Amino acid sequence: MRNIENRKLQASRINQLAVIVILLFLVLIARLWYLQIALGSELLLQSEANRIKLLRLRAPRGTIYDRKGRILATSRPQFVVMAIPEKVKANKEAMETLCEVLNLAPSDLEAIINKERPRPGSPVRVKADANLETVARIGELRMKLPGVSVELDQLRYYPDGPAFAHVMGKLGEINKQQLDEAKRQKKHYRPGDYVGQSGIEKQYEDELHGIDGGKQIEVNAFGRVVRVLGEKPSVTGKALRLNIDRDLQVAAERAMGNQVGGVAAIDPQTGAVLALVSKPDYDPNVFVKKVSPADWLKISTHKGKPLQNRAVQNVYPPGSTFKPIMAIAGLKYKMCDVNTTVNCTGGFRFGRTFRDWRVHGRTDFMKAIAMSCDVWFYTLGHKLEIDRIASVATQFGLGHATGIDLPGEGRSDGTLGTMPSTAWKRKRYGERWWPGETISCAIGQGYIQASPLQMAVACAAVANGGKVMKPWILKEVLSPSGSKVLKSTEPQVVRIVDAPPEAFKLVQQAMRQTVTSGTGKAVDIPGIAVAGKTGSAENPGPAHGWFICFAPLENPKIAIACIVEHGRHGATSAAPVCRAILDVFFGKKKPEEIGSNKAHVSGD
């Protein structure tokens, strides 16, 4: 009986075990169905992704040339160390070895390999522009560095470095906001890409960027390339030819030396920008790869703010360089003529005494500009009143951004600097305009503020008889090889100054006299009829030195404006910079022969 019961118990247990086994098999079969049938396609792709990688071949940025075809920016080959984060992070020895080879702290390497990527399994840049020694060591230690490879890429290069800093601008790694905007516009950018962050590099990013290519490769378990399955070549970005003249740019940069300020040179007939320099400057080559903390600290904490484009973005009182505009306003409204004479005793009494920089005695129209007589212009300003002055000055472009093809010139409403009027003061301060304020404005002081580029545009308009030209840097968009013109930029007249042609002729002749026998003798070049105007702009501390000029007097081909912050006198700080540019422009000197100017002596 007991045996029968034991057999029944054993049979029951066997049946229970069989049920459990069957259930386990059913679960296993269901799991296999789920993985191979339901998720089969997806898992196959993931499996292939672990074996097959897509390496992007970054397109070289387009070359940038000056007006004569000389290279201002190009791309050169570089070795880039790449790493697949999943492979490296899973191997402690690989992390330690890579830190040692690249001289990186473990925290720095972790920060790099933890960056956002377009897809899991794709490599990240660990080090750009690796030297041959580093490349060789990685080759020697390849068995200890799974997932690490060296790729050939392109690195931006600026042959003249700081001389073109504020024209070229700087590159930088694309930020989240830029990346989101690129995705919205369906542009093919990825985390880690370098894009233009300022200057021409930013303004013409779409033309310069090019089209990336790629390689489809098969890798082994160590991340090593087994074979290339397919390749799509990259397409180099379009080339640009600028209006900038490399020789004039280098001459301006050298002439400015260590002085702080900006200089702009343009063609009065077309508005083409021939040179544009801001000091202090920086080397844009520093930004073409990850900026070291030491380099960034040096640039970002520099008291001169080298990233600021003083020639385009900064505004200053124009001082006596405003007087040619005042003279044209006086002639337009018939408040003066060539024979208008004032006895300058060194001051003008209007409530208080407005001082002149010297006693000029009997001063007529020509002498007033040539010798920069403040009293003559105080008298004219009192007659004209501020709204007439503002009417003419705004036609010359004061108060308005010039529209130059560089990012960040003016405010969002298109204004830059200040040209005051009664309506402006009422809107800005809720106060009336006082006649005494006009006296200061008559010599380019008070509320008036303008950038060096604005004054270059105004000077060009005086030179060409009243055409206010839009300044433009880009001359042509070229094919990547530079052999074909794809697009050209045409000169654009912004407005015509409403004043008699005779007014411009008289002011031109007076500015010529400034150079031959007045305060601008520093730019008196034998055989070249240069016309100019000096200026000293009062501000806290030593005055800023200004100079504007154009040449030749008949059919002018170049107009220049220069400011030297705290240069005291334009005749000795800014004028020599303009002289250097003119010397090179007219073939009197080579840019390498230009020395820096440091003289600060008396004079307007």
Active site residues: 320
**Residue 441 burial class via C-beta count within 10 angstroms: exposed 0-12, middle 13-18, buried 19 and up:** buried
Nearest to 84 by CA among 221, 226, 193: 221
Whole-number Å distance between alpha carbons of 442 and 431: 20
Whole-number Å distance between alpha carbons of 421 and 432: 10
Alpha-carbon distances of 187 from 61, 178, 190, 210, 407, rounded to whole Å: 15, 11, 9, 11, 20
546-582 CB burial, b ≥16 within 10 A, e <16: bbbbbbbbeebebbbbbbbbbbbbbbbbbbbbbbbbb
| Dihedrals phi, psi of 148, to nearest 5 degrees | -105, 135
Tell me if 150 sits within 8 A of 138, measured CB to CB: yes
Which 3 state secondary structure label does DSSP give 385? coil
Nearest to 121 by CA among 54, 33, 41, 215: 54
For β-strands 64-65 and 239-242, DSSP reports them as parallel
Alpha-carbon distances of 289 from 172, 174, 187, 189, 301, rounded to whole Å: 8, 12, 22, 17, 20
Which pair of structure tokens corresponds to residue 267? Answer: 């063609």
Whole-number Å distance between alpha carbons of 384 and 118: 65
**Residue 451 burial class via C-beta count within 10 angstroms: exposed 0-12, middle 13-18, buried 19 and up:** buried
Which pair of structure tokens corresponds to residue 450? Answer: 């303008």
Whole-number Å distance between alpha carbons of 201 and 486: 18
At a CB cut-off of 8 Å and minimum separation 6, what does 175 contact?
none
Nearest to 76 by CA among 136, 159, 19: 159
Whole-number Å distance between alpha carbons of 360 and 371: 8
Alpha carbons within 13 A on the beta-carbon side of 82: 22
- CB-CB neighbours of 359 under 10 Å: 12
Q: What is the DSSP secondary-structure string of 334-351?
A: TS--TT--EEE-SEEEES
Side chain identity at 146, as an amino acid letter? Answer: P
Q: Which residues pair with 231 in a beta bridge?
A: 215
Whole-number Å distance between alpha carbons of 224 and 217: 10
